[in-house]
Amino acid sequence: MAPPLLTLDGIRLTFGGTPLLDGASLSASSGEKIALVGRNGSGKSTLLKIAAGMVESQDGEIFRQPTATVRYLPQEPDMDGYASVLAYVEAGLGPADDPYRATYLIESLGLSGDERPGTLSGGEARRAALARVMAPEPDILLLDEPTNHLDLATIEWLEGELQRTKSALIMISHDRRFLERVSRATVWLDRGTTRRLDKGFAHFEEWRDRLLEEEELEQHKLGRQIEREEHWLRYGVTARRKRNMRRLGELHSMRERFRGRRGPEGVASMSAAEGAESGKLVIEARSIAKSFGDRAVVQDFSTRIQRGDRVGLVGPNGAGKTTLLKMLIGTLEPDAGSVRLGANLEIAALDQKRELDPSETLAHYLTDGRGDSLVVNGEEKHVVSYMKDFLFKPEQARTPVRELSGGERARLVLARILARPANLLVLDEPTNDLDMETLDLLQELVSGYPGTVLLVSHDRDFLDRTVTSVIAPDGEGRWIEYAGGYSDMLAQRGGQALQDRARAAKKEPREKKEPVANEPRASARKLSYKQKFALDNLPNQIAETEGKIAILEGKMSDPAFYTKDPDGFSKVAGQLESLRVSLAGMEEEWLELEMLREEIEG
C-alpha cells in the first residue's frame, strides 16, 4: 500500500463541555476514496477542516506530505472579489496546471464561465466551487457535502469524475447512492472518536450495527462484573489487606469506565400530524402548460393523483420541477389546461429555501409564539418534549436559530411542518443536510404516510425507498410519469440516465441525424472544449485501461486461482467485466469524436 499523504492521529478539540473530537484519527493515501460519516453535529466538517489546515486542534499529530497539494470544498464557498466564475476557478490553479481543465469542468458542470459570482444560485455556486477544487487535480481532495444543491444529472456526472480521479479523496455526504458508488473505505466519527472500515459505504450500516451490538454486550458484561465485585466486597471472606485494597481499586476503576462511557446518540422520533381524510381523488391535471417568454417549461401534461399516492418529481435544475409542483397544488395558474383539487385537502409544504428568522428561538418558531406547548394529532405537547423527538436538547429551547448547524435547521423545519394537521405533504428537497439516521426515519414516515405525498428530490436512494411513481422531463417542456421509483424509471427509459436528456430539458438544440434547411454547414462548427479535452485524453485512458485488463486476464489465467481464493476470483472477474464495459464506452466515444473532428475539418 502507498504511504499516506495525510495522517491525523489522536486529534482532540473541545469548545467546553463534552469534547467534540476525542482522539480522532484519519489517514489517506494516493487514490483512496474515503467516506467520512457520522451524525449531524458529530464534528465531521471540523475534522475535515483540520485536515485542510483551516482549523487547529488542541492536541494530536498531523502530517501532510510536504509536496502534496490539498483542495477543500466548503459547504458555503466564498466567491467575493472575482469578476467571473472563470476567474474564480482559474485562481485555484497552480503554475503547472492545465487551464483547459478549468474550462472543461466549468462546461461539464453546466456553466459558461462568464457568470458573475454575486448572481449565482446555490446550485450554481456549488458547481463553480467544485470546478475550482477539481481543476488542479490535487493530491488530496476534501469534499464537504459536494452533492448539495446539485441536480441528478450533475451528481451522476460527478460520480464518474471522482471514480476516475487519482487524488486521495475524503468526502462527507448524506447521499447514500453517491457514497456507495464512489467510496472504497469508510471512516465513522462517533462520540468524538473514529473507526475505519476498509470497505465502501455499502457495507457500513451492517458493520456499524454489529459494533454497537458488541459495545452493548461489553457494557452489560462490565455491569455484571461490577455487581459480582460489590457482592464480594460486602460478603466475601476477608483476605490479606493488600490484596483487598488492590481489588477495591479495580472495582473503582470499573465503575469509572462504566459511568464514563458515552452511549450512542439519541434517535429521532418522527411522526406527522394527520388531518381529516381527503377525497379519493387528490389532484387531476388535464393538458396543463406553462411558458416563460419563448421557453416552454411544461407542455400538455396530464395526471391523476389519488389518496395514498407518493409521487416524486426529478430532473435537472431549471427543468421546471418547482413550477410543475406549484401548478399541481394550485398555487400557480397554468397558461393552458386545468387543475382540479380534491375535497378536504389540507396541505403542509416544505420549501427547499427554508428561510428562518436568525434571531427567533427554537421554541418560538415551533409554537408560533403561542406559549410553551403545541397541539400534535389532537394532543397538547410541551415544546421541549416535542423538540426531544427531533434530537434537540432541552437547553436549546431558547437558542437563536442562527446558532444551529445546517442539519439542525433542516430538522427544525421538518419538526414544524410535521406538527401541522395535513393529508397532503409537499416536500421540496427534504433530505438536504439530514444525517443518515434522520433520513431513515423520514423515509419510514413518507413511505408509511396514510395521506398523499408530492416529493421533489435529487436523492436517488430516498426516491427508490419511498415513491410509487416518478415524473421526469423528456425535453422541450414534455414530462412523463413512470410507475415505481427512480431505478424503475431508468429501466423504463432503457437505462438512460437523466444527464442524457439534460440538454433537452434546458431546451438546447438536439443533434439532428439529417441536415435541414438553413442549418449551418459542418465546416462552420467546431469542437467544444469538453470534446477537445476528451479527444486528447481518451487514447491515454484507453491504453491505461487495456493495461489493467491485461493484468487481470493474467491473474484469471492461473488455473489454481479459483481453488486457492474463490472470493478473490469472483472479485477480479467483476473488476475485469467492469473494465471491459468501460473500455468499450471509451473506444466508442473516441471514435465518434474522431469522426466529428474529420467532418468539421473536411
Q: Report whether 322 belongs to an annotated binding site.
A: yes
Q: Report whether 320 belongs to an annotated binding site.
A: yes
Q: Tell me which residue of 459, 512, 509 sits closest to 486, measured CA to CA.
A: 459
Q: Tell me which residue of 197, 54, 77 sits closest to 134, measured CA to CA.
A: 77
Residue 524 burial by Cβ neighbours in a 10 Å radius (0-12, 13-18, 19+): exposed
Note whether 107 and 528 are within 8 A (CB): yes
Q: What is the 3-state secondary structure (H, E, C) of 108-136?
A: HCCCCCCCCHHHCCHHHHHHHHHHHHHCC
- In sign, the C-alpha dihedral spanning 240, 242, 246, 248 is positive
Q: Report whether 40 belongs to an annotated binding site.
A: yes
Note whether 333 and 324 are within 8 A (CB): no
Residue 32 burial by Cβ neighbours in a 10 Å radius (0-12, 13-18, 19+): buried
Note whether 268 and 391 are within 8 A (CB): yes
Cα(602)–Cα(600) distance, rounded to whole angstroms?
6
Note whether 394 and 316 are within 8 A (CB): no
- Cell numbers at 571, concatenated: 472479485
Q: Report whether 317 belongs to an annotated binding site.
A: yes
Q: Report whether 43 belongs to an annotated binding site.
A: yes
Cα(548)–Cα(554) distance, rounded to whole angstroms?
10
Q: Report whether 272 belongs to an annotated binding site.
A: no
Taking residue 1's Cβ as centre, other Cβ atoms within 10 Å add up to 6
Intra-chain end-to-end CA distance of the chain, in Å? 49
Q: What angle do CA 405, 20, 171 make, to 5 degrees?
A: 65
Q: Helix 152-164 and helix 122-134: axis angle, to 10°?
A: 10
Cα(517)–Cα(519) distance, rounded to whole angstroms?
5
Torsion (CA) 541, 546, 552, 553 in degrees, nearest 10: 170
Q: Report whether 523 belongs to an annotated binding site.
A: no
Q: Report whether 475 belongs to an annotated binding site.
A: no
Q: Helix 529-556 and helix 99-108: axis angle, to 10°?
A: 90
Q: Report whether 84 belongs to an annotated binding site.
A: no
- List residues bridging with 381 in a β-sheet: 374
Q: Report whether 92 belongs to an annotated binding site.
A: no
Q: Report whether 319 belongs to an annotated binding site.
A: yes
Q: Report whether 39 belongs to an annotated binding site.
A: yes
Binding site as annotated, residues for ATP: 38-45, 315-322
Binding site as annotated, residues: 38-45, 315-322
